[in-house]
Amino acid sequence: MQILYEDDLNPDRGADVADAFLVRRLHESKDQIEFGRSLLAGIRKHRAEIDQLLVERADNWTLERMAVIDRNIMRMAAYEMLHGGTPERVAINEAVELAKRYGSRQSPQFVNGVLDRFVKKGSRAVAREKQ
């Protein structure tokens, strides 16, 4: 989440800086580093698609109006639901927990509401349509 946050605020930052942070933060655990790299690459690759879906599901909200933390938590969860094979409810629950820890007082409710619309509108169907 920290790297996605930095990507948002510093889009010209080199990928090597993010990778070095990932290695340090995950204490050089090879499995966790590979998972982190894979997750980050997937989110970056599908960011335009994910962002479009977030805006469609967040009634009357633009990405710019969303808190940086909230939109990056939702990007991770949306990627996991659409492309990561994570069950929707698991991804949403994890996102809400991150929002409780790192977001504002309203973040958990906002994140839950937007991501819940992925389930109601069929996130798996959306992912298949995009392929």
Write the pLDDT tens digit of every residue in 111-123: 999 999 988 766 5
Could you tell me which CATH number the domain at 2-130 has? 1.10.940.10
pLDDT at 64 over 90: yes
Residue spans per domain, the chain: 2-130
- Give dist(CA 100, CA 115) in Å, integer: 15
pTM, to two decimals: 0.86
- Give dist(CA 117, CA 75) in Å, integer: 14
